[in-house]
Chains A and B, each alone.
Chain A
Amino acid sequence: MKIISKNKNPKNLEVLEDNNSTGLKSEEKVDITLSKSTIENLEKFKAFLEDSSDAVFREFKLGSQGIPCALVYIDGLVNSEVINESVLKNLMYEITMLERARDQSIQVDNAYEFIKQHAVSVGEIAEAETLDKSMLMVMSGEVALIVEGSEKILIVNARGWPARSVSTPDTEGSVRGPKDAFTESLRVNTALLRRKCKDPNMVIKTIKLGRRSKTDVSYVYIKGITDPNLIEEVEKRLNQIDVDEIMETGQVEQWIQDSYLSPFPQVQLTERPDTTISNVFDGRVAILVDNSPFSIIVPAGLYQFFRAPEDYYDRWIISSFLRFLRWSASLLAAFVPSMYIAVITYHPSFLPTPLALAIAANRVNIPFPAFVEVFLMEITIELLRESGARLPKAIGQTIGIVGGIVIGDAAVRAGITSPSMVLLVAITAIASFVIPNYSAGIALRLIRFPLMILAALLGLYGVALGFILLNIHLVSLKSFGFDYMTPQAPLLLQDTKDWILRLPRHFLWNRPASIHPLDIDRMDQDPYKENDNAKKTR
């Protein structure tokens, strides 16, 4: 949080307050207080929006008295059917019928109230007393209804814009479990969460971030479970963000994380509503950003990046095996290249004689030292991964074949690298893809390189030092003030039930104690005992 607190000079604080009261800033001088005249109010909107081709100003006369009214909205953000059927039709046509039926005509002084009570048949309406508030609503896709004789503006919810429908997750596929993923629309995302938790204690609070983008940012937690200190910290950190635009969860992540000097992700990003909600049930806070199909889950511990959603749906023996596999794979991915360098360069006697001879025979014609060989190949595999990541699927596969098979084979035949090296690099690459979380996987792949340098300099002692340095870094990391290396350091025995092993559901009666939930019990500690008692009373 160092960066943010540095920004806390008075000037920025002022802006911050402006930001919170949705302050409207204009390049030209406009009187932003509302008047009773429709024409004048409309002029104020026009001062801002005249140059924008997507802004619509619809003036019309209301009722038999011909009271001047106007609609302001942004074309494309609104559902024109709602405007036509529930607003314009009522105001221009039905209202005269109403007047006739009641035998009274609407006057300028009661027009606003009358419209609000009788004429607009839309579920969600609001009132805006100031220009900046109504402007913000218009820019978010609402319709502003200006009525002569009122200093308030009626805001009618007719939002409707092109949105991607809910589809399957791209980066976190699963074999079992729900297959819906977040979309770019915040409302859809919160609905996906609500559908999974009907507890009214689940709070979805929304604030607007970004001086100009005014992006909706929601954070979700369950009252009575989540540590109030954590909620306070989340609010504090979110409100400290003071930038022009918030485009994506990743930006929010970078503003609220604890240390920007670490390759390791300190919050968990997921596009799965079920992962999000189960973490919220555990006592964590989820942060959703409009326009982003990812949610941030805080606080995060390293062990969370080794969990896949299926772990909780599958049988526990299978899940535990898979988790063990992931942890070993991560060690493999991080340390095997450097161990190889150290052993080949410094301690060839470490290997059994036949294996050492086989590797030596492979390496006879290789012109490079082991370090250069490993480094070249690891860089190559990273290049392949990066080039394949954003290509269309068909070409991506070609890259895989060209890179993996052709380059690997050609490099060996050309005598640049040994076959055992290619094998090793391939195994570490596969192992690094086992980690379910994308950013944690990248961090692990990145730390291979400093470890390789240490191994080249100091042999296995260098690898041991690297291991120590890595662990010093990890234990010093915090996520929202909570320890990153839980439940290892500090050791919390009750949390280890859901760590490398995933014990059967019956044993997981407690929420993770490392994040201090208010209510630690997820269920009764001994369900069988309860049943026995019930039988007895019967």
Chain B
Amino acid sequence: MLKKHDKLDGIQYIALISSTIMGVIVISLPNIAIESAHEGALLSTIMASILATIFAVSMNILGNRFPKKTIIEYLVSLMGKPLGKSLGFILIIYFTSTTAVILRVFSDALKGLLLHNTPLEVIMISMLLTVVYLCLNGINGITKLSELLLPIIILSLLLVIGLSASNFNFVRLRPVLLPSLWQSIKAIPNLASVFLGYEIILVVTPFVARNKSTIPNTLIGIGIPSVLYILLVIMAIGVFGLRPTQQMNYPTITLARRINFPGAFAERFDIFFVMLWTLAAFISVANFFYISSLSIVRLFTLRNYQPFVYFLAPIVYMLAILPQDLPEIKLINTYVGYLGIGISVFAIGLLVFVLISGTKEYENG
């Protein structure tokens, strides 16, 4: 009865994917969409979400072929040891740097929004320590927490979206309804990185219960953030207009600030929303941190990942503290995003290769 870990059921799998995707980016999403696609913001977001869904589903199919292995292990069995291990190493670099970038972006935003006088290091270290505490509980702790926090995150976003409806003006939405197709397509790589987080599928495959197809769950897991993101973009443009939104660093927060409950205890809903957003940021940092430490362990074929949690924490901290200023962070963020898209494309290539060569490893095999 006291098993080491239980298999993840459908809802847990969904929660894991959705909560990893919905992270820090939530507060600046409309800004990113407009900055990279201008009039094509809405169309581009929709197309990017479709692209992300394709990536995620192909990763899922790839995982189905190797139900007992993470990508680190089946890369080795597909490509041989030297190549497979070095590709695995690139993956680890990607996961670790993503963790660091999310952590840094989160800390910067939090410092700007809530804690103006608190040193950045304090925010980062306190966050990282909490992440380490969670990761010591293993995959079950992480999924259960995702399950617990995801409804709160979704509700808080829906609340912001729903309560902003009174400020919504349809006229402002007009420019994005007829976008130029080329502009939208050009922005897709940039916007697809917003949906990054689904790569967790590559690593958690061996923990998922396989009594039913996992693809519908992947679709729901991607679908929840997609719908929320699209609604968010629509709402931000509808409330502020295209150009003003582009000027805002954190349009979602501004959206929340505009809300006023009549007769409530809280005047500035945005402060409360930042608190809830902390939960979203935390769980996505934690999930990335966990998959990076798990990948390291799998790469070196070790049994116990817990020492690596302690080992990884200072590295992530160093990486996160490295960038000097905001433009530098943005640049690194973009590059890491491209790396993520590259890995997604690579996963599709790998899937095609596996499908053609017909490699298959069954659960009992």
Q: Give the B-binding residues of A (Cβ under 8 A).
A: 229-230, 232-233, 346-347, 349-353, 355, 458-465, 467-469, 471-472, 475-476, 478, 480-481, 483, 485, 488-491, 493
Docked complex Cα distance between A493 and B147 (Å):
12
Inter-subunit contact A488/B114 (CB<8 Å): no
Docked complex Cα distance between A464 and B15 (Å):
20
Inter-subunit contact A350/B144 (CB<8 Å): no
Inter-subunit contact A350/B266 (CB<8 Å): yes
Contact bitstring B269-288, A, C-beta under 8 A = 1, else 0: 00110111011001000000
Contact bitstring B135-171, A, C-beta under 8 A = 1, else 0: 0010001011101110000000000000000000000
**Contacts A468-B279, A491-B147; A350 near B271 (Cβ below 8 A):** yes
Docked complex Cα distance between A467 and B283 (Å):
12
Cross-chain pairs A/B with CB under 8 angstroms, 23 sampled: A230-B1, A346-B115, A349-B271, A350-B267, A352-B264, A352-B266, A353-B267, A458-B118, A458-B123, A461-B115, A465-B127, A468-B278, A468-B282, A469-B133, A472-B141, A475-B148, A485-B148, A489-B144, A489-B148, A490-B12, A490-B144, A490-B147, A491-B11
Docked complex Cα distance between A520 and B56 (Å):
36
For A480, what are the chain B residues with a Cβ–Cβ distance below 8 Å? 1
Inter-subunit contact B272/A350 (CB<8 Å): yes
Write the nearest CB–CB distance from B218 to chain A, whole angstroms: 17
B145 — nearest CB in chain A belongs to which residue?
Answer: A475
**Residue in contact with B126 in the complex, picked from A349, A465, A489, A490, CB distance below 8 Å:** A465
For B272, what are the chain A residues with a Cβ–Cβ distance below 8 Å? 350, 460
A-B pairs with lowest CB-CB distance, top 10? A489-B144, A475-B144, A464-B278, A352-B267, A481-B1, A489-B147, A489-B148, A229-B1, A476-B137, A464-B275
State whether the Cβ of B356 lies closer than 8 Å to any Cβ in chain A.
no
**Contacts A350-B272, A351-B265, A458-B118; A472 near B133 (Cβ below 8 A):** yes
B12 — nearest CB in chain A belongs to which residue?
Answer: A490
Inter-subunit contact A471/B149 (CB<8 Å): yes
Write the nearest CB–CB distance from B91 to chain A, whole angstroms: 26
Docked complex Cα distance between A475 and B282 (Å):
16
Docked complex Cα distance between A463 and B279 (Å):
11
Contact bitstring B287-316, A, C-beta under 8 A = 1, else 0: 000000000000000000000000000000
Inter-subunit contact B126/A458 (CB<8 Å): yes
For B282, what are the chain A residues with a Cβ–Cβ distance below 8 Å? 464-465, 468
Write the nearest CB–CB distance from A457 to chain B, whole angstroms: 8
**Residue in contact with B144 in the complex, picked from A346, A352, A485, CB distance below 8 Å:** A485
Inter-subunit contact A471/B148 (CB<8 Å): yes
Contact bitstring B1-45, A, C-beta under 8 A = 1, else 0: 110001001011001000000000000000000000000000000
**Contacts A458-B118, A461-B278, A475-B137; A488 near B266 (Cβ below 8 A):** no
**Residue in contact with B265 in the complex, picked from A230, A353, A355, A464, CB distance below 8 Å:** A355
A227 — nearest CB in chain B belongs to which residue?
Answer: B1
**Contacts A233-B1, A481-B1, A491-B147; A459 near B267 (Cβ below 8 A):** no
State whether the Cβ of B134 lies closer than 8 Å to any Cβ in chain A.
yes
Write the nearest CB–CB distance from A452 to chain B, whole angstroms: 16
**Contacts A350-B267, A460-B114; A483 near B275 (Cβ below 8 A):** no
Secondary structure dominating the interface of A? helix
B15 — nearest CB in chain A belongs to which residue?
Answer: A491
Docked complex Cα distance between A471 and B278 (Å):
14
State whether the Cβ of B110 lies closer than 8 Å to any Cβ in chain A.
yes
Write the nearest CB–CB distance from A464 to chain B, whole angstroms: 4
Write the nearest CB–CB distance from A51 to chain B, whole angstroms: 47
Docked complex Cα distance between A467 and B6 (Å):
25
State whether the Cβ of B243 lies closer than 8 Å to any Cβ in chain A.
no
For A350, what are the chain B residues with a Cβ–Cβ distance below 8 Å? 266-268, 271-272
Inter-subunit contact B279/A472 (CB<8 Å): no
State whether the Cβ of B86 lies closer than 8 Å to any Cβ in chain A.
no
Docked complex Cα distance between A351 and B264 (Å):
9
Docked complex Cα distance between A478 and B265 (Å):
37
For B114, what are the chain A residues with a Cβ–Cβ distance below 8 Å? 346-347, 459-461
Write the nearest CB–CB distance from A485 to chain B, whole angstroms: 7
Write the nearest CB–CB distance from A488 to chain B, whole angstroms: 6
For B15, what are the chain A residues with a Cβ–Cβ distance below 8 Å? 491
For A469, what are the chain B residues with a Cβ–Cβ distance below 8 Å? 130, 133
Inter-subunit contact A465/B130 (CB<8 Å): yes
Docked complex Cα distance between A130 and B7 (Å):
52
Write the nearest CB–CB distance from B71 to chain A, whole angstroms: 25
Docked complex Cα distance between A463 and B264 (Å):
20
Contacts A461-B123, A485-B148, A490-B144 known; list 9 others, CB within 8 Å. A229-B1, A349-B271, A352-B266, A465-B282, A472-B137, A475-B141, A488-B147, A489-B145, A490-B11
For B268, what are the chain A residues with a Cβ–Cβ distance below 8 Å? 349-350
Name, among B1, B278, B279, the residue most crowded by chain A CB atoms within 10 Å (CB to CB): B1
B137 — nearest CB in chain A belongs to which residue?
Answer: A476
Write the nearest CB–CB distance from B312 to chain A, whole angstroms: 18
Write the nearest CB–CB distance from B134 to chain A, whole angstroms: 5
Docked complex Cα distance between A475 and B268 (Å):
31
**Residue in contact with A481 in the complex, picked from B2, B123, B143, CB distance below 8 Å:** B2
Inter-subunit contact B122/A458 (CB<8 Å): yes
Inter-subunit contact B115/A459 (CB<8 Å): yes
Write the nearest CB–CB distance from B286 to chain A, whole angstroms: 9
Inter-subunit contact A352/B278 (CB<8 Å): no
Docked complex Cα distance between A488 and B127 (Å):
24
Docked complex Cα distance between A351 and B130 (Å):
29
Docked complex Cα distance between A475 and B149 (Å):
11
Write the nearest CB–CB distance from A343 to chain B, whole angstroms: 8
Inter-subunit contact A351/B1 (CB<8 Å): no
Docked complex Cα distance between A499 and B10 (Å):
21
For A468, what are the chain B residues with a Cβ–Cβ distance below 8 Å? 130, 134, 145, 149, 278-279, 282
Write the nearest CB–CB distance from B137 to chain A, whole angstroms: 5
For B266, what are the chain A residues with a Cβ–Cβ distance below 8 Å? 350-352
Write the nearest CB–CB distance from A242 to chain B, whole angstroms: 21
